[in-house]
Structure 1
């Protein structure tokens, strides 16, 4: 810490959940501060036009402030908004989306959709937690998330956003790894929970000894988990014990769909919100029998199969060969192979020619990673489908792409809203509906 001032008045929140204030003509971003508050703060980074700071004391508290549930909040880098009341978190995320759409894209949605939300605690069914052997300094191995702005691992006892039965394993996992012969060579544990199995993937840099294997098997039996191991890249992920455990899967009951997946394949961390998001996406897209619909950045078929379930023919496009193979298998598993087809393509290199080669589409769903889908939208070249549903995990790239769709491709932004996929974090998941001007639903 390098500086402090008596107090600052907080005007709003930024995209990372930090309070924004103006002091002597400079913008100050203050971690832990909320709109409407007056706080004292301490600066840890100075730039010519702004400063980064942490809150020291609340002089005047916001009515939206609540006591964080997690004892590690403020140290752990996993959550940034536990001090903000849950409905206010959703309102703040909706404001981020609307502000980005206007300030970046110069567009406004004709309708603001109600926020999609669910249980705010114990929701996270996927996580990657770090491991650090601190035996010499603290007498134990630390298992947890990184501290804020640090590579240090938090000395955690529990995590309130993990399901309770997984949170309860944090300290036992540290004790387990502390007994392994390779405890200094286990940097990470990946958590992947399914309907019928809890998987823990150990990243190991050296082989397990026979004694290590015995310890892992005993832990798995006692805590009802399945261990997988990973020695290098994703191709080296293999089940270790027990080998007869059920396969990982999640379900979309509304569509009668079961989605098998491997523990390192991408799935949403919040299955309840994912179900609600799929329901909204299908409602906005309104697929009909006989329509030909594109699902771009389709992954393992999270939206592809519900669209096909409604009777449309769906072409899923994905850059990862492994995910394409998984999507094909999932379509067959759910009896939807005849209504689906998949192509492997790098959509970040899309051109008018490569997109046209996929054929005509009546409608399109786009679910890109954080970088967005600018090249895809440019490649539409005025020949896009009459309706596009865009799922986004980054409101700023959604806003950029919305500008391309509205100002260059002739679409209208009919509706937009947020889904609280990651409660207590500043992450903004959103969904938007675009229609060609003049099209009547």
Structure 2
């Protein structure tokens, strides 16, 4: 298929090109290139005069015209401006802000192609860094690709021009920039919030001191929507009244944050909690709007089911849950096991996990705060060993941790990962310690983004 028009809006001519790190200006040429493959950042890869070119908004098999963004020593970066021959996987980006907004990078790619690309990235990384391939590739976990995101931080900037109020900017950061994309909607967020963005923008426009607001955090439980308004200076009573009227009309929650701690101001019920449910396990988990929780509730439910299924916990077994957070995996595992120990480095999440255990009347679980980069094998809570282990580390992975885990010699380990590169590195370590990678697969936790979420099962060899 041939097209003379770009499949997305062209950037504003006033935008400055991204300067290269090594000096000099990006090339002003607009060559035609053929995209050969996708990178591990899900960008198109082409070759121009023998040099690698990474191309945003381009898919394998396409012929595109590009605009250079940066010239570097070993590779260049560009964006496709015209699609001459399009791939079957291409679609028109559903969001009108796609071309500028940095929140989503893959809306030009059909969802099934996105998840296939992410699965390939996972398997490629495992092969490259661990020389391993799972005995079984698990079916991807997928769900609705729009309306899924339950948490977000939206920037607020109120410019002034020649002493007069300028344009309100309300949105996410632009691609490759600290500037804000001014949004009117966000299709990846639930409609009950996205549909209110114009009214929220108007509220900020009407405020007397909106320039003191740096950003608004949005957190959505299954019971309510909460706004956390971060302000750098005290807000006048007039602005506070406007904010209160806005949330009261919608039965939302309102928090104000002047320093590190956010304070709830509405409703005045004292309960600083939202909640989500795991119906399969008859669990309700509460969280503060600023706590870490999985933003995709549907995929989270599928993920918890799969993790418990893979561990196959028996009633006489003792289980260790590392990076346990507020108990997302710990409490479901406790429904199956003799005892579960949840360990977390963030003390506020450990306290929240204990609250959730009490709320759900689960007594065969203990939560412990600990530095998970240190050797904890001799800690009192670790005595007695563990039959099975689940870990859900940050993007940096858990290299030191997997070395310590191996000393317990558990029957199996389930590793939930948000970074296939560190998962692959840690896989090599586990294989060296006598474990076999038996199952692995991807989970579409963040559709339309380049984030690759995965889960892997390791069994003692």
Local SS of the residue matching 1:72: coil
Residue 240 in structure 1 maps to residue 265 in structure 2: yes
Counterpart in the other structure of 2:194:
167
CA separation in 1, counterparts of 2:294 and 2:147? 14
Counterpart in the other structure of 1:411:
435
Paired residues of 1:41 and 1:55 also in contact (CA < 8 A): yes
Paired residues of 2:274 and 2:288 also in contact (CA < 8 A): yes
Q: Which whole-Å deviations, capped at 9, do the CAs of 1:359-395 have from their partners, x for residues lacking one?
A: 4000000000101010111223554211000000001
CA separation of 1:259 and 1:403: change in aligned 2, threshold 3 A: same
Counterpart in the other structure of 1:107:
132
Give runs of aligned pairs for residues 12-411 of structure 1, distance below 5 A: 12-134=37-159, 136=161, 139-233=166-260, 236-244=261-269, 247-336=273-362, 338-350=363-375, 352-353=377-378, 357-406=382-431, 408-411=432-435
CA separation in 1, counterparts of 2:173 and 2:326? 29
Q: 5+ unaligned residues in a row in structure 2: which ranges? A: 1-16, 18-25
Local SS of the residue matching 2:130: coil
Q: Which whole-Å deviations, capped at 9, do the CAs of 1:315-372 have from their partners, x for residues lacking one?
A: 0000011111111111111111x21011111112335545994440000000001010
Paired residues of 1:135 and 1:141 also in contact (CA < 8 A): no
Q: 5+ unaligned residues in a row in structure 1: which ranges? A: none
CA separation in 2, counterparts of 1:15 and 1:58? 22
Q: Which whole-Å deviations, capped at 9, do the CAs of 1:215-247 have from their partners, x for residues lacking one?
A: 1111112233111111111xx211111223974
CA separation in 2, counterparts of 1:298 and 1:51? 41
CA separation in 2, counterparts of 1:153 and 1:223? 27
Paired residues of 2:34 and 2:62 also in contact (CA < 8 A): yes
Bigger drift between 167-176 and 425-434 goes to 167-176
Bigger drift between 14-23 and 52-61 goes to 14-23
Paired residues of 2:158 and 2:211 also in contact (CA < 8 A): yes
CA separation in 1, counterparts of 2:430 and 2:352? 31
Paired residues of 2:148 and 2:189 also in contact (CA < 8 A): yes
Counterpart in the other structure of 2:8:
none
CA separation in 2, counterparts of 1:352 and 1:11? 48
> In the TM superposition, what is the alpha-carbon distance from 1:256 to its structure 2 partner?
0.3
Paired residues of 2:320 and 2:390 also in contact (CA < 8 A): yes
CA separation in 2, counterparts of 1:358 and 1:138? 63
Aligned residues: 433
Q: Give the TM-score of the pair, scaled to structure 1.
A: 0.95
> In the TM superposition, what is the alpha-carbon distance from 1:5 to its structure 2 partner?
4.5
> In the TM superposition, what is the alpha-carbon distance from 1:75 to its structure 2 partner?
0.5
Paired residues of 1:140 and 1:175 also in contact (CA < 8 A): no
> In the TM superposition, what is the alpha-carbon distance from 1:23 to its structure 2 partner?
2.2
Q: Which whole-Å deviations, capped at 9, do the CAs of 1:383-434 have from their partners, x for residues lacking one?
A: 421100000000100000001001x211000000000000001100000000
